[in-house]
């Protein structure tokens, strides 16, 4: 099953060094039965994009913690293919939320790496500042986070990871 793991650039550096990424608190996002039930229309690709967007928003929350030094305003999402026996659906936490057991994903299971482009940094920075208010339903904050979510995230093949870490 394709799972979207929210991350930061620091996470990618660790992945490059160890060959393993750990999903924060063991959570990821995927096309789950609850997400399929939530959407009455749309094909699987559109529904998968919704799960991806949830992971991208979770990356904003990770950036809000403030421990990303190199790229503090770039969202990162890692797409991985994980055996369903390691996945537990968590609809009480959100339609697309899954718990991964174990929470460690090997580099060989990663399908793609997605990173905000430089032009997105201002919107992501603004979203970081209001992510808590957005979570509480404050409309202006939700719009600001939505602006960041509308930005393009570049796609990279996992084989490009060493070059990303060195050259980006």
* CATH fit for domain 2-117+152-161, picks 1.10.1060, 3.20.170, 1.10.3470, 3.10.20: 3.20.170
What pLDDT is recorded for position 40?
Answer: 85
Backbone angles phi, psi at 106, to 5 degrees: -80, 150
Edge to edge, the sheet with strand 97-100 lists: 87-89, 97-100, 27-30, 2-7, 76-81, 110-116, 153-156
Output the pLDDT for position 80: 98
pLDDT of residue 60: 98
Domain ranges of the chain: 2-117+152-161
Angle at 25 between CA 115 and CA 6, to 5 degrees: 10
Mean pLDDT by 10 residues, the chain (168 residues): 97 97 97 94 92 98 92 97 98 97 97 97 98 97 98 97 91
Residue found by looking up tokens 């393009």 in the block: 152
pTM here?
0.96
pLDDT of residue 140: 98
Distance of CA 34 to the CA centre of its chain: 19
Residues 6+ apart with CB under 8 A from 91: 32, 33, 34, 97
pLDDT given at position 63: 97
């Amino acid at each position: 099953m394709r799972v979207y793991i929210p991350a930061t650039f620091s996470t990618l550096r660790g992945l490059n060094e160890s060959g393993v990424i750990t999903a924060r608190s063991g959570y990821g996002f995927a096309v789950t039965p609850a997400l399929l039930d939530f959407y009455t229309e749309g094909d699987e690709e559109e529904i998968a994009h919704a799960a991806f967007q949830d992971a991208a928003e979770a990356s904003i929350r990770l950036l809000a913690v403030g421990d990303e030094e190199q790229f503090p305003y770039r969202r990162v999402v890692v797409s991985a293919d994980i055996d369903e026996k390691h996945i537990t659906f968590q609809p009480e936490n959100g339609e697309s939320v899954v718990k991964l057991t174990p929470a460690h994903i090997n580099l060989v299971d990663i399908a793609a790496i997605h990173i905000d482009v430089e032009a997105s940094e201002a919107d992501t920075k603004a979203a970081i500042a209001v992510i808590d208010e957005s979570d509480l339903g404050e409309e202006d904050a939700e719009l600001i986070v939505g602006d960041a979510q509308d930005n393009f995230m570049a796609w990279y093949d996992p084989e490009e990871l060493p070059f990303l870490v060195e050259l980006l």
